[in-house]
Structure 1
């Protein structure tokens, strides 16, 4: 039911049979890299004349940034997870005699006559899953290639699409997406990812979406945010354990730790410059770079319960460009696309990129305030269930974890209210003193991405109620005697003292 799927697959098969030179263009995020790796790994079974090309995140998204790096002897150019609307760049390639294919899932705004397009968002495409990611669509293409070639190579790649779906925050209410998320988490065979999960203290037997979204995914994308796309690609190509694989994992973890520090420092520096009365918080900080501004926008949006835009310098002196993050209340992408004072808006409903003329920045602020004049930010924290602290044990947490195992966009991990907690002690932890541990008997409360100010306000020898997600922390103690220690934890979002207002 994917429009143009047979024409696209037939063109790939023709390239294989004629030993044509194939270039795969990988976009700069986890979904884009996974898309390119899946297609490359399938094609390499038939041809060695296939290559992955990319540009760094700081350069930009889309085929316009790679066309000058595509050699003239290329026969077939395949853009994955991008380029549906890249009419002019693909025309340039076609004019040089290079055929173009696009496998994408982003919004289709224009008709592109210079490629064969597989994208469920395009008009007249009957594919029911409009929440597919680039990685899933490339996998579907490879499944059809298997059908044509009477092979089954996609079976070896079936653990990759689910991670691409989760990383790109596609809806986990879509049953096809949940199925592939299950294949990733329960059927993981990629040895590099296994090693990365284990290095980040995740249990391979009970992997959850949360393990991926707050562990492996940001570690891989930390490389792209540091303009080291090659490291991310090399890692995802490493599906066997080797000295190189171990080296890649160490480098990814190191880059991710550095990313956390840079992100934390940026948020701290911005505290005094934010205009909290705006309906959309807009920040200009050219020091962050395109690799970090989206993460900072996400943190600002979460903290102040409203959309956020973080901008830096654009491609020329007259423009600013950056990232936006929205809320579930409405499509931020659609809103920005309708604004007169944006030069472009692209991506997904809740996350993407945006550009604005330097002279129109204040006009954009005013326009957004006008369009959202009836929008009231809501910082209410909603929870699913409540428990007494004495009822929380490993068995209960494991049961809840399994229920919420395949969580993500539109199906978020469970949030729980825990009552009858008594604080006996507290501790400030972490290299940057940004984690607070609160002892409440057999349940430990953990607050991340915080600091001394939060720590000082936590009352000791006080009864509280707390909201958050439940987790079992498992670690091995080697001295004086080796043993496995399990601790029940609540990752808290907020708390209040009993019989007192918040």
Structure 2
């Protein structure tokens, strides 16, 4: 762990918060709409409630946008202190408007700092002169660091009660998992889970609480929570993360999150199906327009398109006026899509992270953007090669081997991907189409079950039976309890496959 006092301006920022607490000033926290933003807000709000009841959360829905400019009309004139978390480093004009009304502004953020902002006290490791060594911190981790310093100033230890949330914020925001501080907090989240609501959510999604991995979170709990914000229901996500106990109310939140997440999957799959045949081979970047997807899901559809076509992707919808497109982008590892878009003439605005963010442009400039991207990426060749780390014969795979690999890759994420393995000597004895929408294929290969997710009946029909194959994917143990005719624990070795090929 790094000392929070290495963060530039942290003493100034905490001193202002402490003064507001002692003077019973009105404090407003502005919540951004992704998991990192919501968890940042909840961490700070819960800590401040320990000292004052004159604090409240303000937010706008995802469809309205990101940043302080969308919330300033909700900030009452009697507010004394405005705190933006996980956003607003570059929001000069909106914060000036608040300062001009006599409202002090604090910003705790981790996004790039592009301009000097004299209207706030800024804690952000990206700013010039900040000596904090972890430049891959998330908003949630930085807010937690602030809360540790608040504890120091107030001679308390309340932040320890929330030590499991920063790691989830880091994983959800796809921060680098080679960063040792990030790995430490990921371990605290998965090994030391305290949050009762998240426990219920993990259990509802069939995760083993005693053996949680980052994959359980990134493909289970995280998208379920953000499904609420993508449906313009940020209040549900905040209320859920505020839960301290496993009450009937908490269980109701879990059911609603899972329902929204299932709907999100359907919308995402339908959008991918609509556009998968419209992509031109000569385009270096996939660009589609679809006003029916909605701002909340544009990024996820872009992610699916990027993965399917092995190139960056942009999904656009309608912008703030009839002459503008607005949407989301997803890039590839190895270069910054954000920097690339900032070099393109047709782009009006960009924001976010190097590999994932948003953009807007005039409708008349869509072809200009395509031409610019094709020019800048003229030497880029989409790579559909499937890479793996190690290869095994199926006879080598057992529970002990899988548990060993699971532990090694437990804290995976950006720059530290889950292991991919080539498994040989597989013989298909049976296959089955599963799921409410028939989008999962189970392939029986003796002691190892192969699972293919997010697929369709066409894929199922092509899977050969009584055939030798080899497959690439990730290994895991499926553990469940059978109650009839006799209670017993069933354990199955599984390979979540990316692809397979017949052995000739």
Q: TM-score, normalised by structure 1?
A: 0.99
Task: Give the match for residue 47 of structure 1.
Answer: 52
Q: Count the aligned residue pairs.
A: 499
How many angstroms does 1:135 deviate by?
0.1
- Is 2:164 the partner of 1:156? no
Once residues 151 and 343 of structure 2 are traced to their aligned partners in structure 1, the CA distance between those partners, rounded to angstroms, is: 42
User: Could you list the per-position Cα deviations for residues 296-355 of structure 1 after superposition, in whole angstroms to 9, with x for gaps in the alignment?
Assistant: 000000111100000001111111111000000211011111211111111111100111
Task: Give the match for residue 123 of structure 2.
Answer: 118
- Is 2:493 the partner of 1:488? yes
Once residues 281 and 455 of structure 2 are traced to their aligned partners in structure 1, the CA distance between those partners, rounded to angstroms, is: 20
What secondary structure is seen at the aligned counterpart in 2 of 1:418? strand
User: Could you list the per-position Cα deviations for residues 394-413 of structure 1 after superposition, in whole angstroms to 9, with x for gaps in the alignment?
Assistant: 11101100000000000000
Asked whether the equivalents of residues 56 and 224 of structure 1 are also in contact (C-alpha less than 8 Å), the reply is yes
- Is 2:414 the partner of 1:409? yes
Asked whether the equivalents of residues 81 and 103 of structure 2 are also in contact (C-alpha less than 8 Å), the reply is yes
Task: Give the match for residue 327 of structure 1.
Answer: 332
Asked whether the equivalents of residues 345 and 368 of structure 2 are also in contact (C-alpha less than 8 Å), the reply is no
What does 1:179-258 correspond to in 2, within 5 Å?
A: 179-258=184-263
How many angstroms does 1:356 deviate by?
1.1
User: Could you list the per-position Cα deviations for residues 345-382 of structure 1 after superposition, in whole angstroms to 9, with x for gaps in the alignment?
Assistant: 11111100111110001110000000000111111111
Asked whether the equivalents of residues 443 and 488 of structure 1 are also in contact (C-alpha less than 8 Å), the reply is yes
How many angstroms does 1:152 deviate by?
0.6
What does 1:243-282 correspond to in 2, within 5 Å?
A: 243-282=248-287
Equivalent residue in structure 2 for 1:385, among 390, 397, 411? 390
What secondary structure is seen at the aligned counterpart in 2 of 1:316? coil
Equivalent residue in structure 2 for 1:3, among 3, 8, 28? 8
Once residues 444 and 431 of structure 1 are traced to their aligned partners in structure 2, the CA distance between those partners, rounded to angstroms, is: 20
Equivalent residue in structure 2 for 1:461, among 466, 472, 478? 466
What secondary structure is seen at the aligned counterpart in 2 of 1:273? coil
How many angstroms does 1:475 deviate by?
1.4
Once residues 264 and 373 of structure 2 are traced to their aligned partners in structure 1, the CA distance between those partners, rounded to angstroms, is: 30
Once residues 398 and 75 of structure 1 are traced to their aligned partners in structure 2, the CA distance between those partners, rounded to angstroms, is: 53
Task: Give the match for residue 35 of structure 2.
Answer: 30
What secondary structure is seen at the aligned counterpart in 2 of 1:292? helix
What secondary structure is seen at the aligned counterpart in 2 of 1:53? strand
Once residues 303 and 357 of structure 1 are traced to their aligned partners in structure 2, the CA distance between those partners, rounded to angstroms, is: 27
Task: Give the match for residue 297 of structure 1.
Answer: 302
Q: Which runs of 5+ in 2 are unaligned?
A: 1-5
- Is 2:365 the partner of 1:360? yes
Asked whether the equivalents of residues 311 and 323 of structure 1 are also in contact (C-alpha less than 8 Å), the reply is yes
How many angstroms does 1:72 deviate by?
0.9
Task: Give the match for residue 398 of structure 1.
Answer: 403
Once residues 360 and 47 of structure 2 are traced to their aligned partners in structure 1, the CA distance between those partners, rounded to angstroms, is: 37
How many angstroms does 1:481 deviate by?
2.1
Asked whether the equivalents of residues 2 and 119 of structure 1 are also in contact (C-alpha less than 8 Å), the reply is yes
Once residues 277 and 348 of structure 1 are traced to their aligned partners in structure 2, the CA distance between those partners, rounded to angstroms, is: 26
Task: Give the match for residue 3 of structure 2.
Answer: none
Once residues 278 and 88 of structure 2 are traced to their aligned partners in structure 1, the CA distance between those partners, rounded to angstroms, is: 36
What secondary structure is seen at the aligned counterpart in 1 of 2:281? coil
How many angstroms does 1:478 deviate by?
2.0
What does 1:49-88 correspond to in 2, within 5 Å?
A: 49-88=54-93
What does 1:139-150 correspond to in 2, within 5 Å?
A: 139-150=144-155
Once residues 378 and 272 of structure 1 are traced to their aligned partners in structure 2, the CA distance between those partners, rounded to angstroms, is: 19
Task: Give the match for residue 453 of structure 2.
Answer: 448
Asked whether the equivalents of residues 276 and 304 of structure 1 are also in contact (C-alpha less than 8 Å), the reply is no
Equivalent residue in structure 2 for 1:129, among 129, 134, 143? 134
What secondary structure is seen at the aligned counterpart in 2 of 1:58? helix
How many angstroms does 1:201 deviate by?
0.5
Once residues 479 and 262 of structure 1 are traced to their aligned partners in structure 2, the CA distance between those partners, rounded to angstroms, is: 37
Once residues 259 and 170 of structure 2 are traced to their aligned partners in structure 1, the CA distance between those partners, rounded to angstroms, is: 25
Task: Give the match for residue 309 of structure 1.
Answer: 314
Asked whether the equivalents of residues 105 and 121 of structure 1 are also in contact (C-alpha less than 8 Å), the reply is yes
